[in-house]
């Protein structure tokens, strides 16, 4: 049953699906995965022409559960406000595919999976990844689903990087790319934040050089600290001030391990860190943050983004948020300028928001209208082509 909190236009109850991909996947690092597993969810129906499919690309810590509810859960998927009947990504009009990518830790092949050559978990030995590896794995899932072209590839943050990579790697397999709160490459500051988070994990005595699973340990303290570092960067100063200010926590001021908690923001960050360390894998976090660091859309094109986008043939929608300092609007304007210079069709919207980088997850009327109107036009075009 759906929880009472479920909105009337919710996707409803959903179940994860899985695909065993038996075709070898050669990774950018040179390693080959002879086979791999992908966990995904779908919402809506694939039309008779099989041309209304949307691919949802998750960010760093995301998963396949983007919308609806799992049996027994009180909270919906991470993008539930934007995916569902009559929502911006309308499941009445599109067949929506949300996949958990390789290297993650929610069922798809990654560091917690068994390496068939050793019979033990991959752990820290899982091959390094690039965004193009995620794209190639998604392409194999596309074949599994018998879809020949995505109507739209949508992603925010690292997901937006995947959407751009799709447009270059397989220009004939995507008609529209929606790039939200993203960048063509990380700034030095972003790389620095990621390295601090990784160092926090590796400094945990239970990390065991990445072999913690073999020792039946979890580097929970290091992973919690890494999440706290990341979480602070995803929020804006204004939002943190609105939510917490300098309010003292009411009631018990002594947290576990006798560490005093004075401010509400401290309690909040400790809660977020502990919750994350219970759900995510440390090796996956290290693997994916390095993948973020290495992403550079135009590296193979003599660092010329205009030349890079010259290989794309799809239309683009680029969205940024005014208070996002992790992936600032300047980065999205760089994408837009390069696309214009490459003579590509691109729409750009900068959304006023005080929510920081996390704004892409949260309700915002102008954001909903920009995304929803763009996708409605695509749906109308598809109906006219039937």
Question: Can 157 be counted among the known catalytic residues?
Answer: yes
Reduce the DSSP state of residue 226 to 3 states and report it. helix
Sign for the CA dihedral angle at 60, 63, 68, 74 comes to negative
Q: 24 near 32, Cβ under 8 Å?
A: yes
Are 190 and 167 within 8 A, CB to CB?
no
352 Cβ contact partners less than 8 Å away, ≥ 6 residues apart? 322, 366
Among candidate residues 91, 157, 182, 267, the one labeled active-site is 157
Q: Which of the following is catalytic: 277, 281, 357, 358?
A: 357
Whether 357 is a known active-site residue: answer yes
383 vs 51, 52, 379, CA distance in Å? 10, 9, 6
Clarify whether 296 is annotated catalytic: no
Which residues 6+ apart lie within 8 Å of 105 measured at CB? 111, 112, 280, 281, 284
d(CA 55, CA 24): 22
Q: Which helix (H) or strand (E) holds 242?
A: helix 237-243
Catalytic position from the list 324, 332, 353, 358 = 324
What value, to the nearest 5°, has the Cα angle with vertex 169 and ends 329 and 159? Answer: 40
Catalytic residue numbers read 157, 324, 357
């Amino acid at each position: 049953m759906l929880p009472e909190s479920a909105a009337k236009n919710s996707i409803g109850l959903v179940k994860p699906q899985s695909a065993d991909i038996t075709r070898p996947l050669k990774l950018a690092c040179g390693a080959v995965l002879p086979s791999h597993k992908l966990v995904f969810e779908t919402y809506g129906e694939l039309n008779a022409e099989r041309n209304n499919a949307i691919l949802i690309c998750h960010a760093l810590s995301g998963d396949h559960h983007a919308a609806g509810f799992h049996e027994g859960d009180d909270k919906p998927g991470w993008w539930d406000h934007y995916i569902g009947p009559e929502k911006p990504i309308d499941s009445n009009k599109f067949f929506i595919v949300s996949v958990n990518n390789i290297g993650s830790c929610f069922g798809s092949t990654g560091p917690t999976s068994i390496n068939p050559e050793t019979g033990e978990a991959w752990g820290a030995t899982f091959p390094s990844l690039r965004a193009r590896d995620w794209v190639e794995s998604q392409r194999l899932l596309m074949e599994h689903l018998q879809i020949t072209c995505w109507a739209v590839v949508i992603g925010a943050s690292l997901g937006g990087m995947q959407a751009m990579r799709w447009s270059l790697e397989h220009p004939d397999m995507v008609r529209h790319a929606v790039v939200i709160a993203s960048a063509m490459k990380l700034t030095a500051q972003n790389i620095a934040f990621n390295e601090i988070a990784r160092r926090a994990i590796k400094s945990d005595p239970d990390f065991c050089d990445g072999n913690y699973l073999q020792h039946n340990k979890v580097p929970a303290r290091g992973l919690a600290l890494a999440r706290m570092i990341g979480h602070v960067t995803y929020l804006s100063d204004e939002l943190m001030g609105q939510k917490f200010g300098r309010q003292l926590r009411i009631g018990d001021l002594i947290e576990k391990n006798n560490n005093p908690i004075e401010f509400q923001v401290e309690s909040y960050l400790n809660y977020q860190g502990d919750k994350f360390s219970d759900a995510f894998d440390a090796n996956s976090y290290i693997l994916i943050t390095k993948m973020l660091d290495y992403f550079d859309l135009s590296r193979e094109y003599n660092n010329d983004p205009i030349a890079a986008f010259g290989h794309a043939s799809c239309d683009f929608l680029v969205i940024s948020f005014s208070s996002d300092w992790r992936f600032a609007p300047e980065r999205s304007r760089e994408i837009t300028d390069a696309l214009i210079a490459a003579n590509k069709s691109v729409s750009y919207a900068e959304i006023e928001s005080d929510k920081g980088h996390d704004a892409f997850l949260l309700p915002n009327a102008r954001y909903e209208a920009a995304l929803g109107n763009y996708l409605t036009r695509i749906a109308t075009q598809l109906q006219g082509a039937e």
